[in-house]
Amino acid sequence: KLSIYAISVGSLSWLMSFIFKRLEDHENAVVPAYMPFDTTSIIGYSIAVCWEVSPILWIAFGHFGWDCVVATYYSQATMQLKLLKQNIEHIFDNDGLKEENFSIDQNSSVERFRYIDEINGNIRVKFIYIVERYNRVAWYINEVSAIFDTSVSIQFFSTSISSCLVVYHMSSMNVVSVMFLHMAIILVIFQMQSLLYCFFGHLVEHESLSINDAVYFSDWLSVSPRFRREVLIAMTRWGQPLTPRVSNIVPVTLTTFVSIVKLSYRLYTVMKSTQMT
């Protein structure tokens, strides 16, 4: 909803900038595009403005729709990791098995403690299923990153350049003007596009890093030492975060978003210093 509101307000502010330009300078107000009709009259100017603004609104919603698709895929991976954590925390629950933890040895007639995985053989099957499911989630994240690798890379690059140019243009504008408000909204929209990728990608990494915590929260002491060694082997793999990446290098996380903002500011500083010299 925030994206829809931002795009709608941005289009409205752009429309208002044309209207105020017409009111301030009736003779020199023109639409910066070729029109096959006269735009000096009020009707012609109004049609030209609608012709100019309407496609941009449609294109903006299309771009954000594509961004939401990628964010949805990352959200699905996050939800799968949360389900895995829930299953891991309760896989060793031994409710109702307290009475069966001891068995009588037929040779010595002495009670012997039995671990829960010795009583319930399905625990090992469930654990193998969890390991395989984790591998499928890791494959899913790699596939999503590979499919959208080019588009997300271009998005990060274009956001850095576009944000720099917008801020540079805003520095020479009147703060109390409709056009300045429009450019500020455009800057917010540019940053929201990158933030959408990085926020949901960061959630994937955060959930994957807490998989091992779910093991410690479980009743892992109730399983046999042999089973614990298998759990430790799996935890070695789970200790590596599942981080979505672009170009196999850049992580899609909030750290990358901060780097994009810093890069835009550096480019703006270079352009501003070049103008002063």
What letter does residue 100 receive in the DSSP assignment? G
CA dihedral (12, 18, 24, 27) in degrees, to 10, reads -160
Q: 């390991």: which residue's tokens?
A: 131
Confidence (pLDDT) at 111: 58
> With 50 as the cut, is the pLDDT of residue 190 above it?
yes
Q: For strands 245-246 and 111-113, give the pairing.
A: unpaired
Confidence (pLDDT) at 102: 46
Confidence (pLDDT) at 277: 58
What does residue 231 show for φ and ψ, rounded to 5 degrees?
Answer: -65, -40
pLDDT tens digits, 62-79: 778 888 889 999 999 999
pLDDT tens digits, 238-272: 988 999 998 888 899 999 999 888 888 888 888 77
Q: Where are the alpha helices (DSSP H) in the chain?
A: 2-24, 42-90, 116-119, 122-147, 149-170, 178-209, 211-217, 225-238, 254-276
- Per-domain residue ranges for the chain? 57-276
Average of per-residue pLDDT across 171-198: 83
